[in-house]
């Protein structure tokens, strides 16, 4: 049954675990703070994320995990491969009940298809769990790899916007994308993620 109110259901989704062929996506805990600091603390990662400062400290990661545990309008997952934290992925409802997909991977895991695999698991979760018509996302204009992930997932380009990035200390152009439910259902041939 599709949920009408994302915030109510997302509070309950903290226990959700998504499994793909190679990855496990689960809620981050305080035990993951060092791994999150390592991933988000890498400047090559931080400059592509709007809300992540650089340098990124253990205290920043601790506060992030606490916010995730208490957030009603967010579903955030730690991405693991073979029991190693390799990234993060999230759905947020910041405005207008429009869910936004975000993700990042540690630098050493770029270019191996993990971002696409994690994004597809979260997309499936969003459309199967919630009564939404579309998911939005964005990628810095200077980040063609992230743009490619979105395109492989069926997202359509909708334009360019300026967004402020904490690590850059300035605004930068961001390609904006939208994935509609009908497009997702026509592409649903990709491997299913298993939800526990």
Cα diameter, the chain = 43
In the chain, the N- to C-terminal Cα span, in Å, equals: 16
Note the pLDDT tens digit of each residue in 64-107: 999 998 876 679 999 999 999 999 999 998 766 789 999 999 99
Rounded to an integer, what distance in angstroms lies between the CA atom of residue 182 and that of residue 110?
A: 29
CA 87 to the chain's CA centroid: 9
Note the pLDDT tens digit of each residue in 11-50: 454 479 999 999 999 999 999 999 999 999 999 999 999 9
Contact 176/158 with Cβ under 8 angstroms?
yes
| Model pLDDT, residue 2 | 44
| Model pLDDT, residue 126 | 95
pLDDT band at 194 (very low <50, low <70, confident <90, very high): confident
Which has the closest alpha carbon to 141: 169, 120, 162? 162
Tokens of 125: 């979760």
Note the pLDDT tens digit of each residue in 103-131: 999 999 999 999 999 999 999 999 999 99
Handedness of CA 22, 25, 31, 33 (dihedral sign): positive
DSSP string for residues in 6-68: HHHHHHHGGG--EE-SS-EEE---GGGHHHHHHHHTSHHHHTT-TT--SS--HHHHHHHHHHH
| Model pLDDT, residue 3 | 44
| Model pLDDT, residue 172 | 97
The predicted model scores a pTM of 0.89
Q: Give residue limits of the domains in the chain.
A: 6-195
In the CATH hierarchy, which top-level class contains the domain 6-195?
Answer: alpha beta
Which has the closest alpha carbon to 99: 81, 78, 79, 125? 125
Average pLDDT over residues 139-153: 97
Average pLDDT over residues 174-191: 90
Q: Can you give the C-alpha Rg of the chain in angstroms?
A: 16
pLDDT band at 9 (very low <50, low <70, confident <90, very high): very low
Rounded to an integer, what distance in angstroms lies between the CA atom of residue 184 and that of residue 145?
A: 20
């Amino acid at each position: 049954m599709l949920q009408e109110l994302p915030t109510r259901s997302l509070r309950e989704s903290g226990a959700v675990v998504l499994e793909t062929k190679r990855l496990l996506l689960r809620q981050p805990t305080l035990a993951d703070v060092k791994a999150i600091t390592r991933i988000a603390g890498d400047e090559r990662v931080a400059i592509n994320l709007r809300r992540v400062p650089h340098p990124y400290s253990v205290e920043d990661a601790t506060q992030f995990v606490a916010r995730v545990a208490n957030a009603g309008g967010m579903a955030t997952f730690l991405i693991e491969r073979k029991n190693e934290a390799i990234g993060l992925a999230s759905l947020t409802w910041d405005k207008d009940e429009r869910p936004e997909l975000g993700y990042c991977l540690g630098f050493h895991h770029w270019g191996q298809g993990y971002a696409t695999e994690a994004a597809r698991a979260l997309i499936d979760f969003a459309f199967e769990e919630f009564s939404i018509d579309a998911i939005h996302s964005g990628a810095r204009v200077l980040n063609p790899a992230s743009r490619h992930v979105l395109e492989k997932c069926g997202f359509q380009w909708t334009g360019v916007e300026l967004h402020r990035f904490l690590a850059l200390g300035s605004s930068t152009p961001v390609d904006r994308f939208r994935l509609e439910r009908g497009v997702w259902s026509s592409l649903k041939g990709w491997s299913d993620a298993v939800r526990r």
